[in-house]
Structure 1
Amino acid sequence: MSTKLQMIVDDPYLEPFAATIYGRQKKTLDVLSKIEHNEGSLEEFANSYKRYGLNRTTQKENGKEVEGWSIREWAPNFKEMYLFGDFNKWDRATAIKLVRDEFGTHSGFIPDENGESRIKHLSKIKVFGITYSGERLDRIPTYHRYCVLNPKTSSMEAVVYNPEHPYIPTSPKPKIPKALKIYESHVGICTPEKKIASYDEFRERIVPYCKKVGYNTIQLMAIMEHPYYASFGYQVTNFFAASSRFGTPDALKHLIDECHKEGIIVLLDIVHSHTSANVVDGINMFDGSDGHYLLAGEQGKHPLWGSRLFNYNNYETLRFLLSNVKYYAEEFGFDGFRFDGVTSMIYTHHGVGAHTFDYAHYFSPNANEDALTYLSLVNILVHRKNMNCVTVAEDVSGYAGLCRTFEDGGIGFDYRLAMSCPDLWVEYLKTKKDEEWNVNHIGFVLNNRRWKEKAIAYAECHDQALVGDKTISFWLMDKEMYTGMSCLWQPSLIIDRGIALHKMIRLVTCMLGGEGYLTFMGNEFGHPEWLDFPREGNGDSFHYCRRQYNLVEDHLLRYKFLLAFEREMLHLEDQYPWLNKPNAYISKHNEGDHVLAFQRGAVIGIFNFHYEKSFTGYGIGVKEPGTYKIILNSDSSEFGGYDRITSQEYISQPIECDGLPNQIQIYIPCRVAIVLTKIN
């Protein structure tokens, strides 16, 4: 390549690794060229879900177009393969034998009889194969689109979903927002009731809630089918099946359509980093071989998760995964994807035991270049006009170029999760008293990210909500939340501190931490309990497997103040966008006073983290002369504060302060944050 990649131009420290970067680009282009030569285009390759698995189609027989079902599966270790099920009363003798081609793909066609489908809606099917060693194995087709859990066996079963009147979306897809404000969500826990909630309940309860609070993006977790509910959706068995425990595929389409109607985009939390080790109902050892779509032997086993790992160097694995992405975007209307476990994908050690990452590590043999090729291909695919999706990567290593375009030399993600943000708050809340909080360190960590690589900031996500960990509200208030959240009496010092810092932590993270913002459902109002799915260890209880929105709806409880603050913060970002602006300029980080001040876009954030000192006539440097107005005040009574700030406007003076030419003098009480903007 004659022109230097822009990523290397922007970051000269990448120059010593230029050969590796170019080599990885060439590898991706070589695989792309192979796909285009074999399939016609990358898009057509990703359309394979329309040909693989069980599909309604037409086929010529005796010169006539005949409607029916086609079935196709890649299973090279099967010498023979058959389809059977309810349609033939599970009789193996009359099972439909599929035709095997030279590549190990087995296919067949089941024509309709007398104008009616032989395989009925909601009937069950299976395939069975006979290996070259003579072993007979029953399996669920790997591309199957609807599976239901058999409570007696705790395994998934393949069910045919072909309603007479399928749901047809009516709302056009919204444009991708300039700055994502994400509500990370799990459908099953969206109710205060002790049960598994449905797609319909989520649509009716959470979608209007998100619209009202100000989230423009909903990220749906645990959609890809998984038999073990407590896995949080991260032990996927059936990649093309939207989880039936929440309802039908049509109900999910209706949910997404309702989001689009409200101008909200929807991301799928997609799990392509590993798969469940289940054999009976998963893709592991589908054709009896240890490899198939997966890596064989020990390298195909995740050392911590007990799951199996994909072979990204396998042509049919690429077909399977790329098809999976296009399927969810086209069939359900998902607007983008949050890729789980990217660190595990892109390193041969899967992040286990690796605590330090740097350029030498990113571009060393520790990297899994096959996985990097797959991630580059999927980003090339989804960013083309016909899909126009947004992608987010969960990577703890900070891989250089992960969120630069492929043309610039990167992998092509739009955003990475700013995982250092929650780590900062967990460390502070676990190990430091208020008086030990370092505002310089807080500002540096939140504001520190790779140039031209966008990040999603968050103070906490689902990881911090799980049993065994604590949410920010729990760290701050713990058991006091059970007795001290009533508005009918004065809050305790613990509750008072907790509410004040909860607001400040979320606001400073949102303003400094990235180009997008995320919260896990319930955390915005300080949900009082962790999340623990029903399992053997808790007596299969649903007590902690729910989000208690009833608490925030009760106007006698203080949770309403935290929600009101989150809502105002998000609406303010709509009015004075800062997330899509360059990194903030931090003008003040006074360690003795515990005061942090910065400007980002048109807003100035001032945070007094001091545990007891309030400041009168406190000087804050500003760039431009003029009048500055408070547009958000965490001490307002509508947010559970004390209305200690009476002045709303401040006129600057031409006095140098904080290295800036002008100064405003403010009153800033302890544990209070304010946001200002220049009005003239």
Structure 2
Amino acid sequence: MTSLAGQIRFLSLSPNFQHQFPQDKVLQKPLVFPRKKWRCSATQQPNQQQHKSKRSRRPSSDSDSAVDPVGFLTKHGITHKPFSQFLRERYKMYKDLQDELFNRHYQLIEMATGYEILGMHRNCHHRVDFMEWAPGARYCALVGDFNGWSPTENCAREGHFGHDDFGYWFIILEDKLREGEEREKFYFQQYNYVDDYDKGDDGVPIEEIMKKIDEEYWEPGEDRFTKNRYEVASKLYEQIFGPNGPQTEEELEDIPDAETRYKAWKEQHKDDPPSNLPPTHVIDNGKNYDVFNIVDDPVWREKFRKKKPPISYWLETRKGRKAWLKKYVPGIPHGSNYRVYFNTPDGPLERIPAWATYVLPDVNGKAVAVHWEPPPESAYKWRNKHPKKPKSLRIYECHVGISGSDPKISSFNEFTDKILPHVKEAGYNAIQLIGVIEHKDYYTVGYRVTNLFAVSSRYGTPEDFKRLVDEAHGLGILVFLDIVHSYSAADEMVGLALFDGSNDCYFHTGKRGHHKYWGTRMFKYGDHDVLQFLISNLNWWIVEYHIDGFQFHSLPSMMYTHNGFASFTGDLEEYCNQYVDKDALLYLILANEMLHFLHPNLITIAEDATLYPGLCEPTSQGGLGFDYFVNLSISEMWLSLLQNVPDLDWSMSEIMRTLTGNRKNAEKMLMFAENHNQSISGGQSFAEILFGENSKQSSGKEDSVLRGPALHRMIRLITFSSGGCAYLNFMGNEFGHPERVEFPMPSNKFSFSLANRRWDLLANEGLHRDLFVFDKDLMNLDVTERVLSRGFPNVHHVNDATKVICYTRGPLLFVFNFHPTDSYAKYSVGVEEAGEYRIIFNTDEKKYSGQGRIEDTQYLHRTIAKRIDGLRNCLEIPLPNRSAQVYKLTRILRI
């Protein structure tokens, strides 16, 4: 039996390996990390190029001569020596990390494809290969219902396949020949289990194909296939190995370059008698290779430029799934339950594999992984492409499980059929899904993740989730995942805790390995294997499920050793002191660089309550490289005002300082009035506060009826229009969902009564239907007037006495009157351009459950020459209390 290292090295040099990782990405350095096994399929032919674009092997910022570790500080005129020194040291650490990673990996893309190496994969040579990383285990086996849960059958033993210096275990499960069937006569003939490729099932004998290739392809005098098992595909191999390439695994040791081997071959055969052999065996396929410089015959050179590898003949030798099923029984059938069995210093353990792609949390009292390899006729076929990256994002945040009306856990298919059409109708162009990845206990919402590569089985199968994403793309809706790489569940039977019997396989030991308050485990970001696990996890969701972006959940938990539970004043010293986790910051930089390098249209969002400097700055300029950041302080401000502050005491100045961020790069803020936190995490939604029977701020019954809807609309309009180029709303809040969410848990006797959404409120005319119409028109305002993509607003009027706020954004003028009682017949606000302004959006319209206090004749106003708010022109407009209007300049007057 050839050693594992030999197998890996041989397969890494196979044509399919070169197809997976093109020549322009290859970095010639010693191989350390195990390589992907060769899995030929009809959709992955050796002459195809999956990665067509010519990219360097490193992200652009690494080769950019304009790299400045403190660039974003310089751009904003910030001087702070300790933080500048911290950024320079962090950049040096990042460069050192890159060098270490490139000594470990052949190329950049390999760092993001650990899922193609570890886990369960089908090998073209009639077997299933399983590889796991378990540094602390002395013995590893795969147990499941396919082998009677036996740790001795189809297993790896130390010194056999298994344990190497890096803790990688390799297990081979052989497919079985059916009774009466025989193995292939020719080594190169393949039966393809994975893809629906049945061309070879036409019944043409292999001998006829060999005769055909002799007559139609091989030149007179060239070697035939009968001499060795590789001969039929020799020209194909020569594209990779050069002329007279190796024919056995032993010959692969220390192979010189193609030209050196060719010259050696010429020297070896210099005394041979003349023949009609061509002067070279290299197939150029229209490309110029250096080895061609030694070809002297122009006739042969032109002839070989036109000749292509014998792919078509080779494909005819492959048998498809129909023939495969007739001949073989899979070593581990689709749908099989399994676990990985470890023998550790503390005794035997059974664990769910870290790279499992589908997990059932409770089967007979235990969690099991499920081998998910559906046959082609059952596998989901993608139909739609990724939508184009929009200039402005309108994100609809969702939780699949609570998305239905019935008191139960809703499924992916129900969400696809019922919620996606609603999202499209509402005018949102992206959804952000929380709780999709397999997690510990339903009531944890999805944040105690146990299996990072698996969609939660509570909602359906991987194929169901693919359908959800595909249908969303068909509607022009992007799909984002709320990804939790900041911590992980501490459960030992399902998650990664004590995975191999040791306490530091994926996580820190001691106090640093445990979240201070949440009872979760903290990743060891300085470990290269953990880095690859997390980064390849991000790439997995993009490649396997066509995800368009990620929101990185709870960055403070990972960026600080105190997990973000500290007071922040904004002093830069707080972002570079001893509590900052530099390894976590390096991971975020590496993740953003690699994701944007491999997937240029991908969107990353940072959820950070500490306002870390440079979140959305380019990594080449000292930033972390995110596209957007979430301003959590906005929702906290609104919640505090609604619950604790009388309407007359609201500070307009404080509201605008919070909304605009009072910081650089505020245009990259993702704005929201309330997300899932207000509705799920034991809190109240704004609608519950405003419309509830115990509304504290209302002065009477009539005021209660008018106040709640008015403030609900105004809060959304000002939050939507006063900040960055992205906006988010949690499912149901667009129509004022009147109830909080309570997941089933012991405290409510596992009731599902509040773990759903009241979609029935939209079926009838009334307040909730009117609020939905308002939100729909608000989203349409961005479509027609490009509100979010017009740059940062110019705030020119904030009056705490009158409770009026006014700002412009492009040709649009936004005016808000938050006063609970005072209305103004002619309120003067300044404008830059003289002309006619028309109301295009009014929160007080009756169709939104407003009072309709502005007459149709009052919708058009002309400026007067009067300096107000430091501007040259003035508008005198009606401003009813608790209402807001959007004016648009429709005609410019030249004075």
Q: TM above 0.5, one fold?
A: yes
Per the alignment, in what secondary structure is the counterpart of residue 472 of structure 2? helix
Letter in 2 for 1:145: T
Report the RMSD for the aligned CA atoms in angstroms.
1.8
Asked whether the 8 Å contact 1:467–1:530 carries over to 2, the reply is: no
2:77 to 8, 12, 21: 12
1:193-592 alignment, distance < 5 Å: 193-386=406-599, 388-452=601-665, 454-466=668-680, 468-479=682-693, 492-555=702-765, 557-592=766-801
Offset, 1:210: 1.0
> Residue in 1 aligned with 2:829?
620
- Distance change (3 Å), C-alpha of 1:594 and 1:407: same
Letter in 1 for 2:557: S
Asked whether the 8 Å contact 1:621–1:657 carries over to 2, the reply is: yes
Offset, 1:74: 1.0
Which stretch has the larger CA shift, 12-21 or 426-435?
Answer: 12-21
> Residue in 2 aligned with 1:137?
349
Equivalents in 2 of 1:257, 1:339: separation in Å? 23
Asked whether the 8 Å contact 1:558–1:640 carries over to 2, the reply is: yes
1:23 to 89, 109, 118: 89
Asked whether the 8 Å contact 2:413–2:468 carries over to 1, the reply is: yes
Asked whether the 8 Å contact 1:14–1:359 carries over to 2, the reply is: no
- Distance change (3 Å), C-alpha of 1:152 and 1:548: farther
Equivalents in 1 of 2:498, 2:746: separation in Å? 27
Per the alignment, in what secondary structure is the counterpart of residue 597 of structure 2? coil
Equivalents in 2 of 1:23, 1:560: separation in Å? 55
1:230-282 superposed Cα distances (whole Å, 9 cap, x missing partner): 00100011110011110010110110011111111110100001111110111
1:78 to 137, 142, 149: 137
Offset, 1:180: 1.2
Per the alignment, in what secondary structure is the counterpart of residue 341 of structure 2? strand
Offset, 1:129: 0.8
- Distance change (3 Å), C-alpha of 1:19 and 1:143: same
Unaligned runs of 5+ residues in structure 1 are 59-65, 485-489
Per the alignment, in what secondary structure is the counterpart of residue 588 of structure 1? strand
Asked whether the 8 Å contact 1:72–1:107 carries over to 2, the reply is: yes
> Residue in 1 aligned with 2:194?
none
Per the alignment, in what secondary structure is the counterpart of residue 110 of structure 1? strand
Equivalents in 1 of 2:778, 2:354: separation in Å? 44
1:516-553 superposed Cα distances (whole Å, 9 cap, x missing partner): 10111111111111111001110100001011111122
- Kindly report structure 1 stretches of 4+ aligned residues shifted beyond 6 Å: none
1:638-675 superposed Cα distances (whole Å, 9 cap, x missing partner): 11112111111111111111111001111111110100
Letter in 2 for 1:106: W
Offset, 1:428: 0.7
Q: More strand by proportion, 1 or 2?
A: 1
TM-score, structure 2 normalization: 0.72
- Distance change (3 Å), C-alpha of 1:450 and 1:151: farther
Asked whether the 8 Å contact 2:723–2:793 carries over to 1, the reply is: no
Equivalents in 2 of 1:581, 1:464: separation in Å? 29
Identity %: 35
> Residue in 2 aligned with 1:188?
401
- Distance change (3 Å), C-alpha of 1:252 and 1:559: same
- Distance change (3 Å), C-alpha of 1:293 and 1:627: same
Unaligned runs of 5+ residues in structure 2 are 1-64, 178-327
Offset, 1:95: 4.5
1:181-227 superposed Cα distances (whole Å, 9 cap, x missing partner): 11110001111100100111111111111111111110010011013
Per the alignment, in what secondary structure is the counterpart of residue 679 of structure 1? strand
- Distance change (3 Å), C-alpha of 1:468 and 1:2: closer
Letter in 1 for 2:118: Y
Equivalents in 2 of 1:134, 1:244: separation in Å? 31
Offset, 1:303: 1.1
Residue-pair matches, total: 663
Letter in 2 for 1:78: A
Asked whether the 8 Å contact 1:597–1:604 carries over to 2, the reply is: yes
Per the alignment, in what secondary structure is the counterpart of residue 470 of structure 2? helix
Offset, 1:36: 2.4
Per the alignment, in what secondary structure is the counterpart of residue 458 of structure 2? helix
> Residue in 1 aligned with 2:101?
35
Asked whether the 8 Å contact 2:568–2:574 carries over to 1, the reply is: no
Per the alignment, in what secondary structure is the counterpart of residue 9 of structure 1? helix
Larger radius of gyration: 2
TM-score, structure 1 normalization: 0.95
Offset, 1:480: 6.9
Letter in 1 for 2:76: D
> Residue in 1 aligned with 2:175?
112
Equivalents in 2 of 1:79, 1:46: separation in Å? 28
> Residue in 1 aligned with 2:863?
652
Per the alignment, in what secondary structure is the counterpart of residue 404 of structure 1? coil
Offset, 1:512: 1.0
Per the alignment, in what secondary structure is the counterpart of residue 648 of structure 2? helix
Per the alignment, in what secondary structure is the counterpart of residue 147 of structure 1? strand
Asked whether the 8 Å contact 2:440–2:489 carries over to 1, the reply is: no
